[in-house]
A = this chain, B = another copy of it.
Amino acid sequence: MLDRMTDAEAVEAAGATGAAGAGATEAPGSAGTAGSAEAAGPAGGGSAPRRRAPAGAAVLREDVTQAIRSAVLEELAAVGYARTSIEGVARRAGVGKTAVYRRWRGKLHLVLDIVSALAVEGLPAPDTGSLETDLRLLYEFTSRALRHPVASQIIPDLQAEAARNPEIDEALRKAVRSGQESVALRILAAAVERGELRRGLDEDIALDLITGPLYWRTVILRQPRLPKSHLPTLTRATTAALKSL
């Protein structure tokens, strides 16, 4: 699934979310402005630049990091974001709480990290020369992705949480935008270029028409097993709708 991440990526991501390097000593400092502390890229001068030996072998272990990531996904699916606890994640991952806190500030950063990682997973942009065929391929890919029980459990949960938490909201929108949405836009543009669709069509509504019905069926109604005819029929109807725009 998302085990594609390379070592370098994982370490970087971990470092980025969990207070880059030097932060450790400063972290428990006074109230507030913990976030701005990370901004210190170049040595800000001051009294604590002594960067002793980076490390010998005492480096964050990648297998532990991955175990935590997997545990977060499982925990999210099992109990939802609100009830997800660091203790629960650590327990599920078979690691100590400290291992988690060494990498991430807390629950929010942990989840944001993972969501952002999901955003990267690009899906293919079909270009078959036919709007209807392109759409059907997109649907097949999307519906297969949403079929995974973990995804279909986590998505609505984060979605709901996004209404309350701007950071989750942004991460989620970015993920959708970089995935589903950008592909759909490319399909639309190609169809316009071929003359299959009108040139000035309302893109917002077009995206709603493409995304809405399948999302409703798979995520809201949670009916993962669709009859064979479903996607083709849906594709044909959606194509008709788009052409009327």
- Where the two chains meet, the residues of A that have a C-beta atom closer than 8 Å to any C-beta of B are 79-83, 152-153, 156-157, 159-161, 163-164, 202, 204-205, 208-209, 211-217, 220, 222, 229-230, 233-234, 236-245
Contacts and interface: CB of A to CB of B under 8 A. Distances in A.
A244 B234 contact: no
Given A160-B156, A233-B205, A240-B240, A83 B82 contact: yes
> Do most interface residues of chain A lie in helix, strand or loop, or is the interface mixed?
helix
Contacts of A220: 159, 215
How many copies are assembled?
Answer: 2
Contact of A161 (B80, B215, B244): B80
A194 B152 CA distance: 39
Given A157-B160, A208-B214, A209-B234, 18 more contacts: A80-B82, A80-B161, A81-B82, A82-B83, A152-B163, A204-B230, A205-B230, A205-B233, A205-B234, A209-B237, A211-B213, A213-B213, A215-B216, A215-B220, A237-B245, A238-B241, A239-B244, A240-B243
Contacts of A80: 82, 160-161, 164
Contacts of A222: 163
Nearest to A231: B205
A119 B159 CA distance: 23
B82 A237 contact: no
Closest 9 CB pairs of A and B: A212-B212, A82-B82, A212-B213, A241-B241, A212-B216, A240-B244, A208-B213, A156-B160, A237-B241
Interface centre among A79, A80, A230 (most CB of B within 10 A): A80
A24 to B, nearest CB: 31
Contacts of A208: 212-214, 216-217, 234
Nearest to A240: B244
18 contacts: A80-B161, A80-B164, A82-B83, A153-B163, A153-B164, A156-B156, A156-B163, A163-B222, A202-B233, A205-B230, A208-B213, A208-B216, A209-B238, A212-B212, A212-B214, A237-B241, A237-B245, A239-B244
Contacts of A216: 208, 211-212, 215-216
Contacts of A233: 202, 205, 245
